[in-house]
Structure 1
Amino acid sequence: MNAKSLLPSRADYRAVPRTWRGDLLAGLTVGIVALPLALAFGVSSGAGAESGLVTAIIAGIVAAIFGGSNVQVSGPTGAMVVVLAPIMASQGTGALALICLLAGLMVLLAGVLRLGRTISYIPWPVIEGFTLGIAVIIFLQQVPTATGTKPGESTNAAVAAVQSLLTASWPKVGWSLLLVAIVVVIMLIGVRVAPRFPGSLVAIVVTGFLAALLGLPVDTIGELPSGLPAPTLPDFSHAGSLLGPALAVAALAAIESLLAARVAASISDTGAYDADRELVGQGLASIASGLFGGMPATGAIARTAVSIRAGARTRVAAIVHGLLLLLIVLVGASVVSHIPLAALAGVLMVTSCRMIAPSTVRAVMGSTRSDAVVFVITAIVTVSVDLIYAVLIGLLAAGFFALRQLAKASGVHREELPGAAQPGDERIAVFRLEGALFFGAAERMLERVSTLRDIEVVVIRMSQLQILDATGAQVITDMIMSLERRGITVLVKGIQPQHLRVAERVGVLSSLRHQNHLFDDLGAAAAHARSHVARAGA
């Protein structure tokens, strides 16, 4: 494939003369929505509110220019916060820039190596279970901020939430929870009254005004820089110890960004997305974000959906979103610094509750038992262990159930010889293999054939066999050799061309008594079997 396909081109902006008004409005709309989320995600990750803003600005613009989606909006996300928060707690904020660079390079390399389409191998129940688990963790992570208490020491979000509540002190807890309640009410009422109502921003403004007017004893964001910091290179001396955390961040960034891009392509009419270019763009976005003191970035499904509903048709909308946030930093940093942290926690709590719809949960749980189990396992492991382990365990569980289902769909069936019955036919057994003969189903066939008694010839029909792996071929080889040792002649009929290579290499053909015992036609195989029985009885 042409390397130029991974780079920006004029074609990216071909529709702008027709769509610029809608793109401009969408960019302004999603910028307003992104402001409180960027602040909240920055605080929740431990990197700070300014880091969340830098990520939304720098990564949002870079990913929009270099990414593979026409309408994807990128920046800090809840899933990344879940991964990043424990890393920041153990490694300190000084490691943030290096993790951004290392993770960005990994994602960039994945795009250059054309690994983007691997996202299609993640089953739907795994994705939804992963999303549900992330939503639960984000909600739990907001408990200390929402109650104005000290964060718990545990790396598990549920345990840390309980630990933080043990340090509660009044009246600070009461005032913090009041602000959270106001945010929740405004956001819920706003979305019912007008779907495009910027409820989170209005809620932040209202609670900030009340906190300042009444002098409430609640924590605020604090002083923010009135501009972007100068880019700096991190200290690479600790790169070796951060490769593991960076790999986890990179895996999540790639998965979430590609999922968001796929969703964006499905809900808009702006064309397909380029998965490999999207990885390149997200990798560059995280690198750029790290140089300016930001966090690793990913595609943001919710903000992308807001942008599309507001009229986005090209990547100009996402660029405008980043520029608007930059303008806010330049002229309104002093105002933003007075926003109560409890209000940001309320925004994220509502956001987490909206991450997965009840109808989606009902659909997964009501589909098949195996899909429901995969969904529940993935969600539980996400909350209790780790996001990356959750995806891996979810994939393993889904793979196990898929192989079991495939094995059940496979079969070994005994059937009658073609044509009119002849003397000696009772000493001939014909077996039809169908479906998939792989390691999950091969032993069943071996058990079935090993019970044969008073049989002189066995005909194995393989023309309806769809899948044959090395284990299946080895079982056929062992079965042929076992039957031949018992004096039973084995004839093989209808090996498909795609199975011939593995059959030859594993030894299916060489295990036959004679090379003439391989047939393409069942009638010829039956005639040979009958003649063999007749000669044996003569």
Structure 2
Amino acid sequence: MEKLKPKLFSVMESYNGQQFIKDVTAGIIVAIIALPLSIALAIASGVSPERGLYTAIIAGFLVSFFGGSRVQIGGPTAAFVVIVYGIIQTHGFDGLVIATIMAGIILIAMGFLRFGSLIKFIPYTITTGFTGGIAVGIVAGQIKEFLGLDMGAVPSGFIEKIKIYSESLHTIDLSALLIGAISLGILIFWPKITDKIPGSLIAIIVSVLLVKSLNLQIDTIGSVYGEISASLPSFHIPEADFKTILQLIQPAFTIAILAGIESLLSCVVSDGMIGGKHRSNMELIGQGIGNVFSGLFGGIPATGAIARTAANVKNGGRTPIAGIIHAITLLLILLVLMPLAALIPLSVLAAVLMMVAYNMSGWRQFVELLKTSPKSDIIVLVATFLLTVFFDLVIAIEVGVVLSSFLFMKRMSEVTEVNGWKYVEDLTDEDYINDIENIKYKKVPQNAMVYEISGPMFFAAAHKFIDITVEGKVKKNVLIIRMRSVPSMDVTALRSIQKIHKTCKKQGITLLFAHVQNQPMSVMKKAGFDQLIGLNNFLPHTDDALARAEQLKCS
């Protein structure tokens, strides 16, 4: 069983100075990458800029300290933008804090209950669908700042956003659009020059210089949000009554599930990069602790950031020390350089987030799935995507999982087959001797019917084996059901078997079972069906059942 021990405690047993230097270098580089992203994500989520840094510092430190990955970098991510914005619109910032703390508690509970391995049961079509939907939502949320539109607050609904944008297009600020377009160009082409310095930092520096040198009158962080706090975050527990908690249970679960999925996906990706193995349950606990304290110190929801984690690995980070250094570096930036953030144009941050949305969208995988997947998977993919865009992530995941489950059961029911063996008068073929399990070479007595069930026996396939007939032109007094290829069965399938037994009993037919596997046998034993049939009527092999049918020929 997986250990509930933070990776930090394990790696420190063999830590050395050479790795420390690599971790420090990687941590500082990741902090530089995280700085503009944290500010941009906070603003896009509807909170003040410094709260993004609070999240990256507090959650980033605690996720690295308590998490189950060697290289995970925790902090605010684009996946939460649409959710957080919606919660603030409905419940205010205190509501978001309560939901974040509740989500952290849920994640901790999930870790202790060892739910980490269950995340793998979320289909790839669902994660691809809602990731693409979130990306569309992020881009839609940045159009106001990118174009410099003169309008009120951006609504949370996608259709409402598009409507108000179309009504405000005549207010486009060409200066803001110019700065945004230049920034977007830098973000696209800078990585082709070098990946040592993040393009977002270059875009911010260039845009600030252009705005100052050309004296452009466009919205900046300072003009919209006023003076930026450079102080340490303060501890605050918001007041919450039972009614408020009930209202926030669903948003809290959404945050927890998304944080769990994204953080564990990030762990899987980083494992592949370093050849390691994360501890999924400990990672959930670390994510939970990070979110609880992020909320208590005025931050927003956090999870493992795939892009920052990958940057950490590429720059030599191999232990949680790199994530801790990343958090400490951001803390120093907050205390010393945060007032300079007031100079950053909002259109630049909009461009940064649009690029983040593009990178996270996975549109190539989306298109590939549309081209190569079965129709059932395409339905799940498109439904999850559209529901995320036009409604919200909760509905998208719920419908996606339910739809996937139904379609999976349909496919499994199609796999399950019931085939009858025909009576064979005589067989002397040498293949009968060489392949005793081959159905074609089994000698079935005239008084017996043999049916073989292949595949899982469950409620979606019950209609197939409930039709097993006990009637024939020749008088039969034995029915053999071969279950060698049945890995599992449920209670609905058991009831179908019980109905077959009742029919056999009425017609004086002996019911035999051959080669029943462990799980189906345990279901029968638990229901007392084995005693009802008689243990002597359960045979280990088909040949034994056929021999018993021969004995019953004259009975």
> Normalization by structure 2: what TM-score?
0.89
How much does 1:96 deviate? 3.1
Residues 455-485 of structure 1: CA deviation (Å, up to 9, x unaligned)? 5232211233222221112111111212332
User: Please, which of 379, 400, 409 is the counterpart of residue 403 of structure 1?
Assistant: 409
Residues 476-533 of structure 1: CA deviation (Å, up to 9, x unaligned)? 1111212332444432222223322211334543554x66443334334324434544
- 8 Å contact 1:59–1:297 — kept in the other structure? yes
**Quick check: 1:286 aligned with 2:287?**
no
How much does 1:3 deviate? 7.9
Q: Distance in 2 between matches of 1:35 and 1:367?
A: 39
Tell me the residue number matched to 1:316.
321
Which letter maps to 1:349?
M
Q: Residue 413 of structure 1 aligns to a residue in which SS? A: strand
- 8 Å contact 2:11–2:319 — kept in the other structure? no
User: Please, which of 500, 503, 510 is the counterpart of residue 482 of structure 1?
Assistant: 503
Tell me the residue number matched to 1:83.
83
**Quick check: 1:496 aligned with 2:517?**
yes
Residues 417-466 of structure 1: CA deviation (Å, up to 9, x unaligned)? 57737999555321111221111212112224367554523221123322
**Quick check: 1:466 aligned with 2:466?**
no
How much does 1:291 deviate? 2.2
448 and 41 in structure 1: CA distance in 2 versus 1, 3 angstrom threshold: same
Q: Distance in 2 between matches of 1:12 and 1:158?
A: 51
- 8 Å contact 1:152–1:164 — kept in the other structure? no
517 and 341 in structure 1: CA distance in 2 versus 1, 3 angstrom threshold: same
Superposed CA RMSD in Å reads 2.6
User: Please, which of 231, 235, 238 is the counterpart of residue 239 of structure 2?
Assistant: 235
- 8 Å contact 1:144–1:151 — kept in the other structure? no
521 and 336 in structure 1: CA distance in 2 versus 1, 3 angstrom threshold: closer
Which letter maps to 2:194?
A
Q: Residue 189 of structure 1 aligns to a residue in which SS? A: helix
- 8 Å contact 1:144–1:164 — kept in the other structure? yes
340 and 445 in structure 1: CA distance in 2 versus 1, 3 angstrom threshold: same
Tell me the residue number matched to 1:360.
365
How much does 1:283 deviate? 1.4
Tell me the residue number matched to 2:186.
186
Tell me the residue number matched to 2:430.
none
Tell me the residue number matched to 1:420.
426
Q: Which moved more, 1:183-192 or 1:475-484?
A: 475-484
Q: Which moved more, 1:290-299 or 1:386-395?
A: 386-395
Tell me the residue number matched to 2:100.
100
Which letter maps to 2:399?
I
Tell me the residue number matched to 2:342.
337
User: Please, which of 318, 326, 330 is the counterpart of residue 331 of structure 2?
Assistant: 326
428 and 83 in structure 1: CA distance in 2 versus 1, 3 angstrom threshold: same
Which letter maps to 1:469?
D
1:85-234 equivalence runs, <5 A = 85-149=85-149, 150=151, 154-170=155-171, 172-222=172-222, 223-234=227-238
Q: Residue 431 of structure 1 aligns to a residue in which SS? A: strand
Q: Distance in 2 between matches of 1:227 and 1:434?
A: 67
Q: Distance in 1 between matches of 2:475 and 2:364?
A: 57
Identify unmatched segments of 5+ residues in structure 1: none
> Normalization by structure 1: what TM-score?
0.91
How much does 1:394 deviate? 2.1
Tell me the residue number matched to 1:262.
268
Identify unmatched segments of 5+ residues in structure 2: 428-441
Tell me the residue number matched to 2:435.
none
Q: Which moved more, 1:471-480 or 1:189-198?
A: 189-198
Q: Which moved more, 1:487-496 or 1:39-48?
A: 487-496
Tell me the residue number matched to 1:430.
450
Which letter maps to 1:166?
E
1:42-81 equivalence runs, <5 A = 42-81=42-81
Q: Distance in 2 between matches of 1:294 and 1:240?
A: 22
Q: Residue 167 of structure 1 aligns to a residue in which SS? A: helix
How much does 1:152 deviate? 5.9
Tell me the residue number matched to 1:385.
391
Residues 337-395 of structure 1: CA deviation (Å, up to 9, x unaligned)? 11111110110001111114444224433143333332222222221222133223222
Which letter maps to 1:333?
M
Q: Which moved more, 1:236-245 or 1:326-335?
A: 236-245
Which letter maps to 1:125?
T
369 and 233 in structure 1: CA distance in 2 versus 1, 3 angstrom threshold: same
Q: Which moved more, 1:23-32 or 1:443-452?
A: 443-452
Instruction: Spell out structure 1 runs of 4+ moving beyond 6 A.
Output: 1-4, 421-424
Residues 275-313 of structure 1: CA deviation (Å, up to 9, x unaligned)? 121112111111222222111111111111111112211
**How many aligned residue pairs are there?**
532
Q: Distance in 1 between matches of 2:159 and 2:40?
A: 19
Which letter maps to 2:238?
P
Tell me the residue number matched to 1:302.
307
